[in-house]
Each structure stands twice: as structure tokens, then as C-alpha cells.
Amino acid sequence: MAKRSDKLTSLSLPGPEDIHREVLPNGIVVLARSNFNSPSISLGGFLPAGAIFESDPKLGLSDFVSASLMRGTQKHTFDSMFNELESVGASLGFDSGVHNVSFGGRALVEDLPLLLSLLSESLRTPTFPNDEIEKLRAQLLTGLALRAQDTSDMAAMAFDEMLFEGHPYSRPGDGYVHTIQSITRKDMENFHRLHFGPGGMVLAIVGAIEPKKAVEAVNRVLGGWQVPGQVGPCELPPHKPLKKTVKRHHALAGKSQSDLVIGMFGPRRRDPEYLPASLGNSVLGQFGMMGRIGEVVREKSGLAYYASSNLSAGTGPGSWEINAGVNPKNLDKTIDLIEKELRRFIKSGVTREELEDSQANYIGRLPLSLESNGGVANALLNIERYGLGLDYYQRYAGMVRAVTRGDVLETARKYIDPDRLVISTAGP
């Protein structure tokens, strides 16, 4: 019965039959899928212009540039652009990550030409007006001042610095106060000129439009975009393996809570161990009331305000980490309990019931994540970003069910070594 229901479910999931993928002559990859149950469309995409291209003295530049794209273009002021969007109930926005600048928007299908036109303007002809740049700089500096007083943020920053020492992933994407202060309008214009172009760009459109018409609409607006000097994606250096446990405490006076991050390297998104690690992580610190970590640290011992684990996997080396917020006097006890739980995890793995519960959860929540046009657009972008194959979501239930307790245990033992951890804390 399970196999029959898997087959029926897979027919309604995105797949090669209904995902249209086309590469425009200038290199932009367009993914499109119809959904005529809604009168709207969702648009999403990315291009390789993330923080990995920044120099150390200009950290935060990609974030600054992406936040400035809609603050003024050759045809629109900041206000007039948002007035156009609001007048038709549409939305558009940009965000910056380590590798990419991403974008997303929504509109009624008849307003897709407007949405694509404003997207094209923002990507191709931003003017970086001085007054808007300075307003934005003030906002960014305020955000950094708040970050400096946040125990969770500071513990996470120190964790990345230790785990990824000497690697681009060790740097904060939003930069530091002195780097944001040093960024000039010319820096922003140069970064935009070098890194914003059609090369490596991916765009997904999902909603009440035939896929070929969606591709034609994109081609009309962005098909002629050429940037001869665009810098291509850069190779990631290898990361240094941990030789022993490393610890750091970031002191913040006057705080009533300490935050801690304990962890190690994890698999990349495309590694074969990703799914066993993800299911194992669900048991360790996600499922139910934050898994075993939550049960031991929070429920039984009452030591933490929150405690869970997280697997962060992307293009390069990932991280597998446990996060907790505790009363400062319980910090050492909490670290000790987490280390014991990790030792137990790599000794005996997960039970049959724990694995089956997590597998059912993964399979059951997939259709829910694809109920909206935006959810499907994100799914299509993930397929392209990690080279998962157009039939990935149709194969997904079978792949999840195929993971065994032995797979989870073998993966846990590969990545988790309680004698080589990164332990980062922040608080009084």
C-alpha cells in the first residue's frame, strides 16, 4: 500500500513531465511550472554575487549592494518603484548569502511583465543614490550594534570563526562596523559591475502561466543582458579538519542568559551522507520537543530555555551543531550533558521507531512545503542549485525510506567526534 500511495503522490509532485527548463542564449537558466488553481505567480532566483567575492577589508559589501538595488535605478526612485509594486499588490526583494544574491517576488499573472521589468532594472541599472546609501548604511550599522549585544549571534559568529578558520565561511556576511563604514559608492558600483550578470543566474516562475510563455516573458526582459567582464564562480578552498576540541567564550556583561553552540563539520548538500545525516539530526535535536537533546537538556534536566540541533548543508562544507540558551550558572552542566548525548548517539545510533517517525515526518511534510507557488519555486531552485535532477521530489519518498539505522550510525560516526568539537559560548 505504501508503494502505491508513493506512486500516486509522486504524480502530483514537480517532475520532468511538468517542469520546463530552458537556458537562454546569454546563459540564464529559467525553470517554470504551471499552477492554474491560483491567479498569481511566484518568482525566485539567484546569481553568483555573494559574500564569497568580498575582500576582508570590505566585508558586508555584497549585502550592502543587494540591499541597495531597489533604492534607485535609472528609471525609478526608491519611492516610485515601491509605489508601482504596491499599486498592483505585488512584491519584490533581494537578499545576500555566502555564494549568491537571491531574489523573490509575487504578483497576479497579468502583472508578471511589470515584476520582471522592475527585477531587470534593479539587477542591471541601479544608481546607488548617495542619500539612500547613507540611510541604508545607518540601518546596517544599527543592525551590527544589536548583533554585538546578542548572545546567540555572538556565539554563532565565534563558532563559524573557529570551525571554518582560514576559510571564507568563517566570515560574517553582514561584515563588521569598520568594514561597513569603509565601503564607498565606488566600491558598490565596482562590485555590481564585476559580479552582477547573466552568467550563473537561475530564475524560477510558478503559477497561472504556461511554462513556455513564462520563458518568453523572461527572455523579452533579460535575454539581451550581456556583461562581458562578469567574474565567474570561485573555487572553494579545502577546510582544515579539527585536531582537538577548541573553545571560546565571548563575554557580554549584564546578560541574564548564555547561548552556546557545540558542533563539528557536516556533509555538503550533494554528499551521499546528507539524507542519513539529516534524518539522524531530526532524532538528535529536532523531532517532537527538539529530539533527544531537547529531552535530556530541557525536559528532564531543566537546564535550558531551548536546546536543539541543526544540520546546515550547502555548496561547500556544512556544519552540524547543537544550540542552547541557558542560565549562565548551568553552562558547564549543559555542555557536559550534550557531550554525553553525542557519545551515546555515535555508540548506538537511532532506534527503529525513532527513524520511522522521522521518515514519516519527512515524507508527510514534503507535499505541505509544495502547496504554495512560492514553495514550488524554491524547490525548483534547490534542484538547480545542487544538481539534484528534475525527478528529485518524485524519488524523495523512496530515498527517505531507503535510509537504514546502519546508514545513520555510519554517518554519525563519520562526522561526530566528541573529542574534536567546537564549543562556542557567549554571555556574562
Q: Are residues 144 and 263 in the same domain?
A: no
Q: Do both 183 and 291 map to the same domain?
A: no
For residue 5, pLDDT over 70 is answered with no
Residue 196 predicted with pLDDT over 60: yes
Q: Which residue has the cell 535605478?
A: 73
Q: How confident is the model at residue 1 (pLDDT cuts 50, 70, 90)?
A: very low
Per-residue confidence (pLDDT) for residue 233, from 0 to 100: 82
CATH code for position 408: 3.30.830.10
Q: Pick from 87, 84, 120, 85: which is nearest to 106 by CA?
A: 85
Measured in whole angstroms, how far is the alpha carbon of residue 422 from the centre of its chain?
22
Q: HSE of 147 in the Cβ direction (CA atoms, 13 Å)?
A: 18
The string of DSSP codes covering 93-134 is EEEE-SS-EEEEEEEEGGGHHHHHHHHHHHHH-B---HHHHH
In this model, does residue 11 exceed pLDDT 90?
A: no
Adjacent-strand bridge partners of 266: 318
Q: How far is the CA of 8 from the CAs of 12, 270, 301, 361, in angstroms?
A: 7, 27, 45, 18
Confidence band for 45, pLDDT divided at 50, 70 and 90: very high
- Give the model confidence (pLDDT) of 285-343 as tens digits: 888 777 889 888 887 888 888 899 999 999 999 999 999 999 999 999 999 999 999 99
Residue 130 clears pLDDT 60, i.e. is over it: yes
In sequence order, what DSSP letters do the residues of 324-359 get, joined into one string?
Answer: EEE-GGGHHHHHHHHHHHHHHHHHH---HHHHHHHH
pLDDT score of 239: 87
Confidence of residue 4 (pLDDT cuts 50, 70, 90): very low
CB 99 within 8 A of CB 48: yes
| Residues 278 and 398 grouped into a single domain | yes
Cβ-Cβ contacts under 8 Å for 184 (sequence gap 6 or more): none
In this structure, the answer to whether residues 131 and 259 fall within a common structural domain is no
Whether 156 has a pLDDT exceeding 90, the answer reads: yes
Those residues with Cβ within 8 angstroms of residue 195's Cβ, 6 or more apart along the chain or in another chain: 47, 48, 49, 53, 62, 230, 231
**Residue 140 neighbours by CB under 8 Å, 6+ apart:** 60, 63, 64, 67, 174, 175, 180
pLDDT of residue 2: 52
CA distances from 143 to 168, 174, 180, 208, 275 (A): 22, 9, 11, 38, 35
426 near 154, Cβ under 8 Å?
yes
Kindly state the average pLDDT of the residues 263-276: 96
In the chain, the percentage of residues whose pLDDT exceeds 70 is 97
pLDDT of 6: 52
Q: Are residues 275 and 209 part of one domain?
A: no
Return the pLDDT at 8. 42
Average pLDDT over residues 336-351: 95
Q: Are residues 177 and 43 in the same domain?
A: yes
Mean pLDDT, range 140-163, rounded to an integer: 97
**pLDDT averaged over the chain?**
94
Q: Is residue 217 part of a domain?
A: yes
Domain count, the chain: 2
Domain that holds residue 131: 18-222
User: Quick check: 3 pLDDT over 60?
Assistant: no
What cell was used for 6? 508513493
Q: Report, as an integer, the average pLDDT of 353-373.
A: 95
For residues 202 and 334, membership in a common domain is answered with no
